[in-house]
Chains A and B, each alone.
Chain A
Amino acid sequence: MERALLERLQRRLSPGAADARGRIQALCSARSLIANPDSTESTRRSVVDALVASVRHHQDDPAFVHHALKLLGDAAVLCRPFAHSVVAAVRPFLDGGHSLTADAVASLASVVEADNGGGGEGFSLVASALDGDRILSLASSPIVAVRSQVLDLLVRSVERGRFWDSFGHHTTIQVFLGLAMDLYPLVRKRACDGIIALLREAAGGVDRLIVECCYDRAVVLLKDEEKLVRLTAVKLISECGELFAASQGETEHSEQMDVVFVQLCLMARDMCMEVRFEAFVALGKVRLVHETVLLQSLSKKILGIKSGKAIVECSTKGTKISLLSAAGAFVHGIEDEFYEVREAACRSLGMLTIFSVKFAYEATNLLMDMLNDDTEVVRLQTLQTLSHMANYDRLTMQDKHMQMCCLCHQLMVKIEDSCKILQYISGLHSIQTLEFSSHYVICEILQFLGLLADISASIRCLARKLLQLVKLPDFISFRDTIDCLISNLEAFPEEEEDIFFVLFSVGKRHKNFSAKLAKEFAKEIDLSCGELILDSHEVAAKLVLFISSSFSSGQRTTDIPMALYSYAVPFSGRIARALSGAVDQDSLLAYLCSHSKKIHKICTSSMPIHIAISDITRKGNVLDFSEILTCSEQTQEKCVFLNEETMQSIKLNLETVRKTWPLMKSHCTQVVQNMLRACKEELETIAWNADDGDASSFLDFAALYIQVIQLVTEILDKSLPKKSCIIGMTALDIILERLDMSLRRLRYGFSGLQRDEECHILELMLLSYVFRLLEIGVSRKPILARLTSTISRLEFLCEGPSNLSVFAKEVKHACTEGTATLFSNTYVFHKLLELFYPEQITFTGRFKQKKAEVLVIGNDSENPLTFVLGLPVGIFFRITLYEILNSDRLWLLLAVGESIQYVFLDLSQFEGCDAVRSCTLNVPFHGTPKAASFLLRASVGIECPSEDVTNHSKGQGWPVDDYAIICKENDVHFISVNNR
């Protein structure tokens, strides 16, 4: 194939062939032969040879030569070895002012391009074909294509770092400068590009006079009509400016640079966005500018009229330019319509601050405003600029920044942005050492964004975290900060712990300030004649602050009035909790008491105080807060200990519950109910103090268990023979249902249940089935089936029927006897009840709760979702699952009134591990009712696999077996589109 093609091609291209069309077609096959990666080297060579020969013979056919030259150029790019033949073939076309010259030069340009990275052979070949005079004559060709191609060739070679050695860059500059005034804008632009590349490549090796020439040319081009040319001219000016500055050495400032700066400022008011952008980028690179000029660029008003320096004119080399033209360049820059320009202006502003303290001071004002910009990129750039300034010690704090009220500075910063910003700062902070100036940055940012009052909890939290790190410069800002935190506390009381912790840190860090504040506060107390209302957020917060300052290392602070410690005593619990286990309540209490001298009066706590006190004594009577914070292991131990303690108290409660059984059987229902209620309350108290972990699972379990027992008691109460009338107990089935549900949750909602524990629950389930059978008009068959399956499970757990409890045995017996009627016999029933005596079960509490959290995104009663009658509606759920195993089958239940739509939750869609996994789902709800509005209840249920394995069939639209709800029910509000 290749050979055949080649032969045909050679035939068509042969000098004798007269067919012009055939030649053009042959070029196509030539192109494919050259481009085909499988072509052999010899084929390519033959093709190129044929081309070269035919070009020589058909010079009179411009259409053919045009394409052939182009193809030769491409061939040179593909195969470097052909460069020689290509240059030779092209050479005859370089003379004469026809358009083929342009093609010839373009081919040479490709040779140079192909030489990139090569040994420079191609370049020298081209250079031999084009000497200085030829280049000049080509560059002055009246044909624009030739000019632009020559220019292109020169620019490319300069960019590749190759100068036309035969005549040095002298002639190259001549060509560039000459063509920079060409009629055609693209030629002008390219010439400018060339000059820039040349100046860069020469890297300072260019004579200053030449640079000035280039600069002058660029100044002329700044007024060009074409924006591309203006753009390149700005770049060129910037390049020249750098060279000027470099040649100036270390001198303080140069008049020439002033002019460059002003020129660029002028361009910063250009009508074209790209030019403005480039101008601001260039402004950032300028150095050695006089301070007056710099300052002028920050103010639209004319500066220095008083000092008589209003009009500083610079007339170097005849170009006169008023420095006033720089007025307000940056003010315009940061107000620009395009964020790209604002960003560039901001960056350059930061770069220029290095040169002048005064400029930095003024620039801070502008930058502060830019924190309110409505584009994220700009805000981030602003932060970067601020930190840059801080690095160079150019960021000075101004009172007016600090005093600005938190409330009014958050025009535009959206939630997610602020998050990013804060993360950014935190990151910044972790890298940098806590330098004094960077404190200011954060402080200002916090103040300016007013983030403490932000709508998003995470931002508030992050903001507070940062606040802990900040060193506040003076008392006023300290007081402002504290006031901010207090109002924060008033607005978000649920975040008390976090706020207390921050207050604690702040107080510790600013000992003297808080002492001062404490004295003021003590005076207030005196004035209030003891009628201080302790139950206010302000007082609580301040007390935390005051006691914190005494926690600092070193000498014990005596500046804090003693009375305050005593006031703080009632808060000891809250404070201890806020310090998240760093110090336990008892030691804190003891510490407070030891300070307040009123120890005897106040200490009515039953806790063994002496231990705590001795504890403190061991630590040198001073709790070093930083020490506490650093030794996290200790804290962890304490946490574990705390956990143990909680577990123990839960177990104690469950023990009490167990003790109720005999009472229950002796029908002391009231007493039992009271006891259970007390247990429940106690558990709630424990829950209040406990943190997450095993204990919380156990707590939930215990609460559920107690509820089960309560329900059982209730049922027993209702089924008492003395009441005699079971008929019409409408409430019974409801209670039974609740019991069922709770038991299911106990059994399936917790993983890691011990054998004993599971047996106990199964027995309780048996009991509930037995209760069921008591109901009138109930279909017995399914209940019996369940009974059987539960018993078989029990047998499996107890390793044989013989190990079953008496109660279970009896139930089994009743079942297998088939005498279902047995159950309706109240006698048998009561006998069974008598038999039901739970084992001396003790719960280990080492299990995990399966939980789900369902969050409906963007919906509450104020913001209902809209729906169209009869059409499905999509709901966004954020579902988080805890401790769910892969084998579990979960369903999302969407209930409207009685009807429930089940949605299977595919665990593969969730991210995370068994412990926590979460996912955002868009779930369509199909059964929209014909109503103006409705309420949908969403919850997650875990399927309770039936013991009967044979009955398993999957893939239906609803749970095959029963399910247990494992999350709080969520309301989703809907409103019809028509009613909106």
Chain B
Amino acid sequence: MGIECLVLGAGQEVGKSCVVVSMGGKRIMFDCGMHMGYLDNRRFPDFSLISKTGDFDAALTCVVITHFHLDHVGALPYFTEVCGYHGPIYMTYPTKALAPLMLEDYRKVMVDRRGEEEQFTYDHIMECMKKVTPLDLKQTVQVDKDLEIRAYYAGHVLGAAMIYAKVGESTIVYTGDYNMTPDRHLGAAHIDRLQLDLLITESTYATTIRDSKYAREREFLRAVHKCVAGGGKVLIPTFALGRAQELCILLDDYWERMNLKVPIYFSAGLTIQANMYYKMLIGWTSQKIKDTSSVRNTFDFKHVCPFDRSLINASGPCVLFATPGMISGGFSLEVFKQWAPSELNLVTLPGYCVAGTIGHKLMSGKPTKIDLDKDTYVDVRCQIHQLSFSPHTDAKGIMDLVEYLSPKHVILVHGERPKMALLKERIQSELGIQCYYPANNEKLLISTTQNVKIDVTKKFIRNCSSAMLRNVKNSSLSISDSSSKYTEIIKLAREDTTAEGILLMEKTKTAKLIHENELLRTLGVKEHQVRFAFCCPVEVTRMEHLSNEANTTHCHENSFRKVDVPRCLATEDRLTTANKTLLHILLSELETRTECKNIQIASESLQLHTFHVCVCSDEHCSHRKKENGVGESVVYFCCSWSPCDDRLARELLQIMGRLTLSC
């Protein structure tokens, strides 16, 4: 069994993210984006690769959208309404709220302004959104019996999520776009430590390592302030959602602090609507904004007001946020035409501009003239500032995430091919994780490790935890405990915990792991124990005479009688006492000779681990070595022991053989 990964978009490129993952008989489509750089059919992912017949409902289990950017959600209405997918769609609450805004805005720009043939209508968008099931963070959703998905906070934009999916034993995470460092309004990505087979991660900045954000903020503010102080106008072309809000927070705070009165404008429409959503979805923002929201909603900007078209040529300095971000058309282009010819003015460009847009032309060297079409051109004399705010994580962040999750395989998407190759090398060499970066429409098969499910008994689990200490206990008892007093502790710390058990494979049943103590009961067999025994003669020099006869007659019964039983005959008592004295004498002798303090004295025997010694009164004890010429001064000690203590026992017996007790 393996995981099959079909990359329909964002393979070795940035744009139209779409990855279809099949595992355990389930097929999940992650993201359904469109490519902003193409106007032909390359704009959408090639859905025919999913199903030749076009029966997408059967081919896909579900679609999951990570966030509302068009390169992640742009093709969704087309896919559901035009291609006819009717299965479940999942996205987070903010994405569900904001995605229609983005889609509708795009549709308008495409159809109304450029006069293109429309790919989907407003009704399509609305219909599509109706099918969406909203997700909450860390909420596990059971899509069907086998497939469960869960969303984790990804930073990046409001409502962006990383998606964890699990089918049977196979687990994957699709990150979508994410940011590992917090910004002014969003927190850093946050995910649990998961056991993963596969991680599909974006790699927009596969080789860049960014510095602290503070310096970038400072640069930006300095540029803006300088321009405004000089009486110039600042044009900030942005996308309506995301970066615009961050820059707004930044500027609003700065304005407040510096007591600046220069107006900050927001081009009306989409952005204002978006701000409203941001205000409502405060729970998805960073900790700081959440904390202060009870006092003041950060998105209630004090200095920001809506823009009126008539203000374009008004005199005096101002700051204007206008869409779209890359000055590819629309309002920002209109304003750019008016403001670009003045040296006083400033245009800030977003971090990334698609080739072909004015933004891109401005970024690649400072042109003095920009042709709009063959008849019109714009004199560009204004200053250009390039923003380096990016909601994507940098190479360090990607490495950190991969290291943190430590999946078995990594697939890179949403990046540029040469950079991805470098990152792949790093991941493989530094982290030792298999890494791939398939191109579009490429299919990748990842083998997963086969896991066998077995049952375990409760007792086994319980014993796993205490097994280690038991080991210590066993080994710590040696004859001489004075030597190397730390060895067992060190052993304890260094050795891996291993739990021992017995695997039972019963017919027609799943395999079962049981504790060794349970084995006999489970199998219904009696336990056999092997013990060695030896009746060891020890010489005794008696100070006080004791009747041997009496000793022999009663000893047998006595040996099983407990000491603390109150009822006791005088002779028995005397005999027991005699035996006990003998044992005590033996104990003290042994202790002095072996320096071992671990010998314990029980009622009628000495014990050292499994080695037992008791006074033997049976003349015909089977363990006795027939020896002639044994005098009366010999007392027999019957010893028995388990094979595991054989060495110990033999040592002790040797010592005992050489002993002469005096009593």
| Chain A interface residues (CB < 8 Å from chain B) | 133, 136-137, 139-144, 147, 170, 173-175, 177-179, 181-184, 187, 207, 209-210, 212-214, 216-217, 223, 225, 269, 271, 300-301, 322, 327-328, 331-332, 334-339, 366, 369-370, 372, 374-375, 405, 407-414, 453, 455
> Would B287 and A338 count as touching, CB distance under 8 A?
yes
- Given the known interface contacts A173-B489, A332-B181, A412-B253, the answer about A271 and B212 at a Cβ–Cβ threshold of 8 Å is no
Note all chain B residues with C-beta closer than 8 A to A139.
466, 469
Q: Are A183 and B214 in contact (CB under 8 A)?
A: no
Q: Answer whether A147 and B287 are a contact pair too, CB < 8 Å, given A209-B486, A216-B493.
A: no
Residue B225, interface by CB 8 Å: yes
Report the bound CA distance from A332 to B179 in whole Å.
12
Instruction: In the A-B complex, list the 9 residue pairs whose CB atoms are closest, starting with the nearest.
Output: A213-B493, A369-B214, A142-B462, A140-B466, A337-B182, A455-B259, A140-B469, A178-B469, A408-B222
**Interface: B485 (CB within 8 A):** yes
Residue of A nearest to B466 (CB): A140
B214 contacts which chain A residues (CB < 8 A)? 335, 369-370, 372
- Residues of the B chain whose Cβ atoms lie less than 8 Å from the Cβ of A178: 466, 468-469, 472, 492
Task: Give bound CA distance, A182 to B468, whole Å.
Answer: 9
Residues 445-473 of chain B: 1 if any A CB is under 8 Å from the residue's CB, otherwise 0? 00000000000000101111111111011
Q: List 25 contacting pairs A-B, 8 Å CB cutoff, sorted by A.
A: A136-B469, A137-B473, A139-B469, A141-B466, A142-B465, A147-B466, A177-B492, A178-B468, A181-B497, A213-B490, A271-B404, A300-B211, A300-B394, A327-B396, A331-B211, A335-B214, A336-B188, A337-B286, A339-B288, A369-B218, A372-B214, A374-B253, A408-B222, A408-B225, A411-B217
Contact in complex: B493, A214 (CB < 8 Å): yes
Contacts of A217 in B (CB 8 A): 493
In the assembled complex, which residues on chain B have CB atoms less than 8 Å from the CB atom of A322? 430
| B492→A213 contact, CB < 8 A | yes
Q: Which residue of B lies closest to A302 (CB)?
A: B209
Name B406's closest neighbour in chain A (CB-CB). A223
Report chain B residues within 8 Å CB of A374.
253, 288
Residues of B within 8 A of A413 (CB): 257
Contact A269 B400 (CB under 8 A): yes
Contact between B288 and A375, CB atoms less than 8 A apart = yes
Knowing that A139-B469, A140-B470, A366-B212 touch, tell me 9 more A-B residue pairs with CB under 8 angstroms. A142-B466, A144-B462, A173-B489, A174-B489, A209-B489, A322-B430, A337-B288, A408-B218, A411-B254
Measured as residues with beta carbon below 8 angstroms from the partner, the interface class of chain B is 35 or more
Answer yes or no: B187 CB below 8 A from chain A CBs.
Answer: yes
- B contact residues around A409 at 8 Å (CB): 218
From B62-70, B190-198, B327-335, B342-350, the one touching the partner chain is B190-198
Contact yes or no, A301 B222, CB < 8 A:
no
Q: Which residues of A contact B568 (CB under 8 A)?
A: none
B55 lies within 8 A of chain A by Cβ: no
**Partner of A337 from B188, B394, B472 at Cβ < 8 Å:** B188
Q: Quick one: which of B465-488 are within 8 Å of A by CB? A: 465-470, 472-473, 476, 485-486, 488
CB distance from A363 to the nearest CB of B (A): 12
Q: Nearest chain-B residue to A214 (Cβ)?
A: B493
B295 within 8 A of A: no
A330 to chain B, nearest CB (A): 10
Q: Are B257 and A407 in contact (CB under 8 A)?
A: no
Which of B222, B396, B465 contacts A328 (CB under 8 A)?
B396
A337–B179 Cα distance when bound, in Å, is 12
With A369-B212, A411-B250 known as contacts, the answer to whether A271 contacts B191 (CB < 8 A) is yes
Given A177-B493, A209-B490, also A183-B211 (CB < 8 A): no
Chain A residues with Cβ below 8 Å from B191 are 271
- Complex formed: what's the CA distance from A336 to B213 in Å? 11
Q: Which residues of A contact B190 (CB under 8 A)?
A: 271
**What mask results when residues 360 to 379 of chain B are scored 1 for a CB within 8 Å of chain A, else 0?**
00000000000000000000
A182-B465, A328-B396, A409-B218 known; A174+B492 contact, CB < 8 A: yes
Contact of B213 among A170, A207, A335, A338 (CB under 8 A): A335
Most buried by B among A209, A300, A337, A374: A337
Q: How far is the CA of A372 from the CA of B497 in the complex (A)?
A: 49
CB proximity of A205 to chain B, nearest CB, Å: 14
What sequence of 0s and 1s flags, for each residue 215-230 of chain B, a beta carbon within 8 Å of any chain A beta carbon? 1011001100100010
A139 to B467 Cα, complex, angstroms:
11
* Cβ–Cβ < 8 Å partners of B130 in chain A: none
Are A408 and B221 in contact, with the CB atoms below 8 A? Answer: yes
User: In residues 377-428 of chain B, which contact A (Cβ within 8 Å)?
Assistant: 394, 396, 400, 404
- Chain A residue at minimal CB-CB distance from B460: A142
B258 at the interface (CB under 8 A from A): yes
Residues of B within 8 A of A331 (CB): 211-212
The interface residues of chain A lying within 8 Å CB-to-CB of B467 are 140
The reply to whether A407 and B258 contact each other, CB–CB distance below 8 Å, is yes
Per-residue A-contact encoding for B487-526, CB less than 8 Å = 1, 0 else: 0111011100100000000000000000000000000000
CB distance from B4 to the nearest CB of A (A): 29
A142 in contact with B250 given A177-B489, A453-B258 (CB within 8 Å): no
Does B210 interact with chain A (Cβ within 8 Å)? Answer: yes
Whether B473 contacts A136 by the Cβ 8 Å rule is yes
Nearest CB in chain A: distance from B192 CB, A: 7
* Cα distance, A413 to B218, chains bound together (Å): 14
The residue of chain B having its C-beta at the shortest distance from the C-beta of A179 within the complex is B469
In the assembled complex, the CB of A280 is this many whole angstroms from the nearest CB of chain B, namely 15
Contact with A along B278-304 (1 / 0, CB 8 A): 000000001110000000000000000
Contact yes or no, A335 B182, CB < 8 A = yes
Alpha-carbon distance between A412 and B217 when the two chains are bound, in angstroms: 11
Residues of chain B within 8 A of A337, CB atoms compared: 182, 187-188, 286-288
Q: Are A271 and B192 in contact (CB under 8 A)?
A: yes
B497 touches A411 (CB 8 A): no
Specify which chain A residues have a CB less than 8 angstroms from the CB of B217 in the assembled complex: 372, 411
Q: A178-B472, A413-B257 are in contact. Are A142 and B493 (CB under 8 A)?
A: no
**CA–CA, A216 to B494, complex, Å?**
7
A300 pairs with B396, CB closer than 8 A: yes
Q: How far is the CB of A321 from chain B (nearest CB, A)?
A: 12
The reply to whether B492 and A175 contact each other, CB–CB distance below 8 Å, is no
CB distance from B429 to the nearest CB of A (A): 11
* Cα-based distance from A132 to B521 in the complex (angstroms): 32
Q: Chain B: which residue is nearest A182 at the CB level?
A: B465
Q: When chains A and B are docked, how far (Å) is the Cα of A331 from the Cα of B213?
A: 9
A residues in contact with B489, CB < 8 Å: 170, 173-174, 177, 209-210, 213
Name the A residues within 8 Å of B459 (CB-CB). 142
Q: A171 to chain B: closest CB distance in Å?
A: 9
B residues 168-202 near A (Cβ < 8 Å) are 181-182, 187-188, 190-193
Which of B181, B215, B466, B492 gathers most chain A CB within 10 Å? B466
The distance from the CB of A515 to the nearest CB of chain B, in whole angstroms, is 32
A131 to B490, CA, bound (A): 22
Nearest chain B CB to A978's CB is how many angstroms away?
Answer: 19
> Considering only CB atoms, which chain A residue lies closest to B477 in the complex?
A133
How far is the CB of A377 from the nearest CB of chain B, in Å?
12
Please state if A410 and B258 are interface contacts (CB–CB under 8 Å). yes
Tell me the nearest residue of chain A to B487, going by C-beta.
Answer: A209
User: Which residues on the B side are within 8 Å of A182 (C-beta)?
Assistant: 465
Central interface residue in A173, A332, A409, by most chain B CB within 10 Å: A332
The chain B residue sitting closest to A136, CB to CB, is B473
A-side contacts of B466, CB under 8 Å: 139-142, 147, 178
A405 touches B222 (CB 8 A): yes
Residues of chain B within 8 A (CB-CB) of A366 are 212
B463 proximity list for chain A (CB < 8 A): 142
In the bound complex, residues from chain A placing their C-beta under 8 Å from that of B404 are 269, 271
- In this complex, the member of B254, B257, B464 whose beta carbon has the largest number of chain A beta carbons within 10 angstroms is B257
How far is A595 from B409 in the complex, measured between Cα atoms in Å? 85
Q: Which residues of A contact B250 (CB under 8 A)?
A: 411
**Contact B461 A183, beta carbon cutoff 8 Å:** yes
- Does B396 contact A175, Cβ atoms closer than 8 Å? no
Q: Is the beta-carbon distance between A455 and B258 smaller than 8 angstroms? A: yes
> How far apart are the CA atoms of A213 and B490 in the complex, in Å?
6
Please state if B469 and A174 are interface contacts (CB–CB under 8 Å).
yes
